[in-house]
Amino acid sequence: MGRRRRAVAAALAAFATFAATLAARPATAQDVRLPVLVPLTGFVALEGTSQRNGALLAAAQLRDVALKPEVLDTAATPEAAVTAWERALSGSTLPLAAVGPILGTQMLALLPLAQERGVPLLTISGTARLGELGNPWFFRFFPSDATVKVAHARYVAEKLGAKRPAVIYQSTAYGQSGREALAKTFADLKTPPVLEESIAPTVNDLSPAILRAKNANADVIVLHLHAASTVLAVRQARQLLPDVPIVAGSAMHQPATAALLEPAELRGVCAETAASPISATSGPMKDFTDAYRAAYRGEPDAFAAAQFDAVGMLGQAIADLRKAGGPVTPQAVRDRLATATYTGLVTTYKSDGKGNMAHEALIVCYDGTSRVPRTAERYAIPPR
């Protein structure tokens, strides 16, 4: 945990410097407030920090629109998210949009409030249910569990040829959403799990779950956990089941997660994700990675890249509305986001009518000698 505290402290110091640079930028009449509501403390702090960093980096790089980010910590509870929302919208002027937290339970709490106030909410939360609520103010820029879990399960069954997967998932809304999507796809593939184990974020010993997978004769460990639980699961699985492959959720692709494991512990470990910025060797994604490293003295992940794209599309929508000479209102921004197509770093974004903007997923794998994964498979999953 000492390494994690030092990493968080370094990230906070880097953010303070970068935030000061943003704050020093002269305000103009064209400045647009952008509340950035993300979890910076609690069990999803690593993911939330990446989300914040991507949003701020995009705001700093926009040329046609001057966004003024206002970062508020949503911690790890729905109540904290609602409090942050109320603070963000307490002024006399509504923001044109807001960045919503990655944590699904917080988004479930905020979506009715966004609809009530008429403010587009841009997020990277993967919880599948968010897109099924019929909320027209919801826009998700990371593939939902209904997309990435199809890729997750298909890689396990089709590429690894596994017949006896053991699924270990988080007890949160995020974990339950992923488990449901995995179960459906495994059933379609006629590869039923031999074990499904729910883990609370507070559990700090996953060896009992790993032992149950071993006793069930699992031929692959399938993880859908937040970052801290993923680290524990991989470390303990490598001790108890050193030769059984692991295909984890998107938390595993994060450089901050991989940094807490030795390269040898990552042998035979893969992860689903939307992108792996640190694996890029050229092009816009490499440029983004270099800019992120310079701004934050850390490594970017798919959460940062997807949120970067979300703010980039927001900036483009506002710029297009201004050029058209019509009103630039939250409703006009919502309508633009719902109908436009945007080519970002990670993918080409287009709403499926439910606010799901991204429809591709990657599987990346580690070779045991490095913490930089390689792309093993890419899946385009059409909207359901």
CB-CB contact of 256 with 242 (8 Å): no
Domain with 312 in it? 2-142+282-359
Task: Return the pLDDT at 28.
Answer: 42
Task: Return the pLDDT at 31.
Answer: 84
Reference 241, options 264, 263, 213, 203; nearest CA is 213
175 lies in the same domain as 308: no
Task: Return the pLDDT at 381.
Answer: 82
Question: Angle, nearest 10°, between helix axes 145-154 and 173-188?
Answer: 50
Which range has the worst mean pLDDT, 26-30, 31-35, 79-83, 328-332? 26-30
Number of H helices, E strands in the chain: 12, 14
Please report, for residues 80, 88, 236, 329, the alpha-carbon distance to residue 247 in angstroms, rounded to integers and kept in the order given: 32, 38, 14, 43
Domains identified in the chain, total number: 2
Residue 20 clears pLDDT 90, i.e. is over it: no
93 lies in the same domain as 202: no
pLDDT in tens, 233-254: 999 999 999 999 999 999 999 9
273 lies in the same domain as 287: no
Reference 255, options 233, 226, 222, 279; nearest CA is 279
**Which residues, other chains included, contact 379 with Cβ-Cβ below 8 Å and sequence gap of 6+?**
150, 151, 154, 155, 360, 361, 362, 363
Under the banding of pLDDT at 50, 70 and 90, the label for residue 89 is very high
272: phi > 0 → left, psi -120 to 50 → alpha, else beta; which?
beta
Exposed / middle / buried, residue 382 (Cβ in 10 Å: 0-12, 13-18, 19+): exposed
CB-CB contact of 355 with 138 (8 Å): yes
Question: What average pLDDT score do residues 192-211 get?
Answer: 97
13 lies in the same domain as 135: yes
Question: What average pLDDT score do residues 351-379 get?
Answer: 97
Task: Return the pLDDT at 30.
Answer: 63
367 lies in the same domain as 241: yes
Residue 19 clears pLDDT 60, i.e. is over it: no
Whether the pTM exceeds 0.85: the reply is yes
249 lies in the same domain as 332: no
Task: Return the pLDDT at 210.
Answer: 98
185 lies in the same domain as 254: yes
DSSP bridge partners of 121: 98, 138
Task: Return the pLDDT at 203.
Answer: 97
pLDDT in tens, 98-127: 999 999 999 999 999 999 999 999 999 999
Between vectors from CA 136 to CA 131 and to CA 138, what angle results, nearest 5°? 55
57 lies in the same domain as 105: yes
pLDDT > 70: what percent of the chain? 92
Question: What average pLDDT score do residues 338-362 get?
Answer: 97
Contacts 24+ apart (CB under 8 A), 318-321: 318/32, 318/65, 318/96, 319/64, 319/65
97 lies in the same domain as 229: no
Question: Angle, nearest 10°, between helix axes 283-296 and 45-61?
Answer: 110
Residue 187 clears pLDDT 60, i.e. is over it: yes
265 lies in the same domain as 168: yes
Please report, for residues 161, 170, 226, 242, the alpha-carbon distance to residue 215 in angstroms, rounded to integers and kept in the order given: 20, 21, 24, 14
Question: Got the DSSP string for 356-375?
Answer: B---EEEEEE--SS-SS-EE
Reference 100, options 121, 74, 83; nearest CA is 121
Under the banding of pLDDT at 50, 70 and 90, the label for residue 92 is confident
137 lies in the same domain as 171: no
pLDDT in tens, 276-300: 999 999 999 999 999 999 999 999 9
Residue 21 clears pLDDT 60, i.e. is over it: no
179 lies in the same domain as 121: no
Residue 17 clears pLDDT 90, i.e. is over it: no
Instruction: Output the domain CATH number for residue 210.
Output: 3.40.50.2300
Task: Return the pLDDT at 14.
Answer: 45
